Structure 1
Amino acid sequence: MRFFKKSTVMLVVFLLAMGTLLAACGDSKDEASSGSKKGKTEIEFWSFWGSGTRKPVIEKIVDDFNKSQDKIHVTYKYLPFGDIWTKELASVAAGNPPDVIINDINSVQQRAQKNQSVNLAKYVKNDPDLKDQFYPQLWNTVLYKNDPYAIPFNTDTRVLFYNKDLFKEAGLDPNKPPTTWDELAADAKKLDKKSGSQYTRLGFLPRYGIGPDVWIDNATGVGEWDYKNGKPVINDPKAVQALQWIKDYEANYGSKVINTFQSQFGSEQADPFISGKLGMEMNAATFYTQIRDFGKNMDFGVAPMPEMTSGNGHTSWGGGFVAEIPKGAKHPDASYEFIKFLTSAKEQAYWASKNFDNVANIQGSKDAAKDLSGKAKEVYQLAVENLDQTLITPQPIEAPDYTSLVNPEIDKVMLGKKSPQAALDDAQKAVEKLAKSNK
């Protein structure tokens, strides 16, 4: 399920205190540079990309920027995912933040509201075509009171992976993946396999790879919050139907069978889809890299998330990150120039093709697909097309931690403690109360 941090006073105080303590310990810097820095505006760029795959790519982009002009020099600093935003909060409070940081796409508005990031309106005004370079739903996440406070960098999207060999074995057409929930359930039943009374393979599990909230997104097409009208729509009739469908689907097996089966799951070669224990799996398109690395000679296909009923829409869900200038950055003009470079079509295509990652720049996405080949190209091309129907769910200003009220109610449904209607009605009331109190 999606998880959003709570915005409580105690949490902020704790984060600031911890960030200050950590900052006092000092950090070593990872620097991508090009020659002399004399006479140039120095800016520091923070991100959590430190893996053997991603770090060289981001360092190459930084180095290319440094070489592309002679006025600005960027130093890249890696911080672990668990530390970076704690330290940023501390640095903003201390008046000594980084010049550019990669931040969560879903909480841009909260940072803008708290005056923790720089309003980019005056810069974007001089680049009138800038916003059209990005997927609209991603651009909308960076707006607060109609002004942009960040530039989208990357995203993701959920798609259906299916095992073509197992489709053939079950008498299914390997070139015709399911397109509706009913077809998905019917195909899954044919893919189920038993040895005696024990299942050795399941066709599909609705809550493996994604959570009930993504099924709700798919069913309603808008998710749990109506951003246009600023109100919760948690107990939408289609959301109730989605939870009921999951519950009925799992009831066909029983919790004991599902729990026993899931206890055998692992990662890499032990992933149930890669190991052949699961015929179909909903997951982020980037799951392809695990299949590539650990699913030797596996013949699989990809398809959009099946729609609830024909004509309802193949809505998927995604998250992502943005490039942002923290409040108090000393050189915002230079920071913006670097962010423009970082999110340009050319650099986005390079990042996407090297990391097999969905990016926010539309042209960059299309160009990345051209740079790939074989199965990688097939999966990435579908992912790019799927972004047109991918929903992004930023934390609403009125109720930033509303999922902390919704998710427990969904859990009660899955545990058989409440009906879908009762649970979502209770969640609706609780979130309405929260939104009213925040106004």
Structure 2
Amino acid sequence: MKKLLCIVLCLALASSLLFACASPAATETTDAAATEATASEAAATEEPAATADEPVTITILRPGDEEKVKSFLEPAVQQFEAENPNITVEIMYESWAGWIQTYPTYFEADTQPDVIFWWDNKLYDSSAHDHLVNLSNYLSEDFFSQIPQGIWDLVDTGDMDGVYYVPNSVDTFVMYYNKDVFTAAGLDPNTPPTTWDELLTDVQTIYDVTGTPGIGIPAITGSEVLEEFVGLFLNQATDASVLDSSSMPLFNTADGLSALTMVQNLSKYAQTSPTEYGRGELRALLRDGQVGIIFDGPWAVPTFKAAYGDDLDNSPIGIATVPLAANGKKIDWAGTNGWIATRESTAAASAKLIEFLMSPEILLSHHIIYGSAPLYASEFDNAAFQYDYWKVFYDEAQNYKLYGMIGRNSATPAAYYTALEEVWQQLVLGQISAEDAQAAAAAAAEGVTARNN
């Protein structure tokens, strides 16, 4: 009996030990299965990224005049869809003014288009930044090499590692001048000024001899144009951006002061009430011989072509590279617009569309419709770009050191334009000295940065 009891007890003990050893493994298996099931459920709720061959629908927005957008995008999209039958592209229409007002709402609701024609200084915009897609792994090597390196260098993405923005157009400032005004002032219309000293001498001569303003300065309130005008001279004198990567001023130096002094001196010979003039109004003045010189981008070309035809080389309007600062460096201001993708789930299709839009044939169409300067050398084969004045823009884009729009590393780039505009207006109106403007502008920029931090 005792022997039987011992056997029973031993069997019970062995059974309990086996159960104890087996329980953790069983628990782990159960937990792993539960975790796997939970992960599967979570994955099922996320929108998977579409591969390049899966059917997918994407939306695109190129802000601007709807008729112009249609004339460019509709045939381009039709051709793209024919070449990529698995991708459907829906076009969204919105004016620049409307888009500027509404884009934060779209991004905050995650209803923004998949592909957008964007600004190079809004990559850190607080609404859009987290939606930008790194296109590095989606675009081909040949694609990267077809865009000049200097233009890639102009696109400052700060600490963003990768390609989040593809420049479609590079719009440099050139010097437009009225040849008839030059002749009336006793100046040679075939030898426009090439240095700051020559520029100041010529605008003063025009003013003194003819009574016509020697230079037009765009200082209208509520625009970015005055900062870009002053910024050109700051860039040239300092060989630096207006703001550094931390959005702190770089112009509070002796070279920066020389630039602001130049602006102050030019302002003496500018049109009256400069704060009533934007770029559009100045183009009309130059066209009609009511001002001698303006600085503007290729956006001014359509105004002069409408008055004098396509061949501006043989018109009263001269187009030349910007005069250089005392340092003699080839430096210019430039702005770019380009394409961004905003969703990882449609990144492959979006990249395909962007690469198509940047192909020589389609880019040429875009530039002709919008009056943008050539980006590729092949564009000069087209009759629209046969004239020498287009080579001025191309030369600057390829061979000059370019500085662009301010506030690129800030979540609120527009705030810097607003803060600096007030100071620059006082400078061109003669209300403050160059020294006071330098100090006030530096303080204004630092104030915006402090508020952002």
Q: Is the 8 A contact 1:109 1:142 kept in 2?
A: no
Of 154, 158, 175 in structure 1, the residue corresponding to residue 173 of structure 2 is: 158
The one-letter code matched in structure 2 to 1:377 is: Y
Instruction: Assess, with a 3 A threshold, how the Cα gap between structure 1 residues 429 and 267 changes in structure 2: closer, same or farther.
Output: closer
SS in 1 for 2:286: coil
Q: Which residue of 1 is the match for residue 426 of structure 2?
A: 412
Instruction: Assess, with a 3 A threshold, how the Cα gap between structure 1 residues 73 and 294 changes in structure 2: closer, same or farther.
Output: same
Instruction: Assess, with a 3 A threshold, how the Cα gap between structure 1 residues 385 and 275 changes in structure 2: closer, same or farther.
Output: same
SS in 2 for 1:165: helix
In terms of mean alpha carbon deviation, does 98-107 or 41-50 score higher?
41-50
Cα separation, 2, equivalents of 1:378 and 1:312 = 24
Give CA deviations for 1:368-388 in whole Å, capped at 9, x if unaligned: 2221358x6222121111113
Instruction: Assess, with a 3 A threshold, how the Cα gap between structure 1 residues 402 and 89 changes in structure 2: closer, same or farther.
Output: closer
Q: Is the 8 A contact 1:269 1:294 kept in 2?
A: no
Structure 2: gaps (5+ residues): 1-53, 220-224
Q: Which residue of 2 is the match for residue 369 of structure 1?
A: 380
The one-letter code matched in structure 2 to 1:212 is: V
SS in 2 for 1:110: coil
State yes or no: 1:423 paired with 2:423.
Answer: no
The one-letter code matched in structure 2 to 1:391 is: Y
Q: Which residue of 1 is the match for residue 389 of structure 2?
A: 379
SS in 2 for 1:225: coil
Per the TM alignment, residue 349 of structure 1 is displaced from its structure 2 partner at its CA by 2.1
The one-letter code matched in structure 2 to 1:424 is: Q
Q: Is the 8 A contact 2:236 2:331 kept in 1?
A: yes
The one-letter code matched in structure 2 to 1:241 is: S
Of 230, 254, 258 in structure 2, the residue corresponding to residue 237 of structure 1 is: 254
Of 104, 109, 114 in structure 2, the residue corresponding to residue 89 of structure 1 is: 104
Of 317, 332, 349 in structure 2, the residue corresponding to residue 316 of structure 1 is: 332
Q: Which residue of 2 is the match for residue 332 of structure 1?
A: 347
The one-letter code matched in structure 1 to 2:321 is: P
The one-letter code matched in structure 1 to 2:146 is: Q
Q: Which residue of 1 is the match for residue 238 of structure 2?
A: 220
- Structure number with the higher helix fraction is 2
SS in 2 for 1:238: helix
Structure 1: gaps (5+ residues): 1-38
Give CA deviations for 1:71-121 in whole Å, capped at 9, x if unaligned: 212122211222235544333333333221112221113359841222223
Cα separation, 1, equivalents of 2:173 and 2:282 = 21
TM-score after normalising by structure 2 = 0.73
Per the TM alignment, residue 181 of structure 1 is displaced from its structure 2 partner at its CA by 1.6
Q: Which residue of 1 is the match for residue 404 of structure 2?
A: 392
Give CA deviations for 1:305-340 in whole Å, capped at 9, x if unaligned: 11122x42242212232211224x642211111111
Q: Percent identity?
A: 21
Q: Which residue of 2 is the match for residue 49 of structure 1?
A: 64
Cα separation, 1, equivalents of 2:131 and 2:283 = 43
Per the TM alignment, residue 276 of structure 1 is displaced from its structure 2 partner at its CA by 1.0
Instruction: Assess, with a 3 A threshold, how the Cα gap between structure 1 residues 269 and 118 changes in structure 2: closer, same or farther.
Output: closer
- Structure number with the higher strand fraction is 1
Larger radius of gyration: 2
Cα separation, 2, equivalents of 1:308 and 1:150 = 31
Q: Which residue of 1 is the match for residue 287 of structure 2?
A: 274
RMSD: 3.4
In terms of mean alpha carbon deviation, does 233-242 or 398-407 score higher?
398-407
Give CA deviations for 1:185-205 in whole Å, capped at 9, x if unaligned: 22233333778xxx3x23323
Q: Which residue of 1 is the match for residue 319 of structure 2?
A: 302
Cα separation, 2, equivalents of 1:76 and 1:343 = 17
Instruction: Assess, with a 3 A threshold, how the Cα gap between structure 1 residues 270 and 385 changes in structure 2: closer, same or farther.
Output: closer
Cα separation, 2, equivalents of 1:320 and 1:131 = 17
Cα separation, 2, equivalents of 1:430 and 1:263 = 23
SS in 2 for 1:173: coil
Instruction: Assess, with a 3 A threshold, how the Cα gap between structure 1 residues 436 and 151 changes in structure 2: closer, same or farther.
Output: same
Instruction: Assess, with a 3 A threshold, how the Cα gap between structure 1 residues 106 and 230 changes in structure 2: closer, same or farther.
Output: closer
Of 82, 86, 106 in structure 2, the residue corresponding to residue 67 of structure 1 is: 82
Q: Which residue of 1 is the match for residue 263 of structure 2?
A: 246
Q: Which residue of 2 is the match for residue 18 of structure 1?
A: none
Instruction: Provide the aligned length of Structure 1 versus Structure 2.
Output: 383
The one-letter code matched in structure 2 to 1:316 is: D
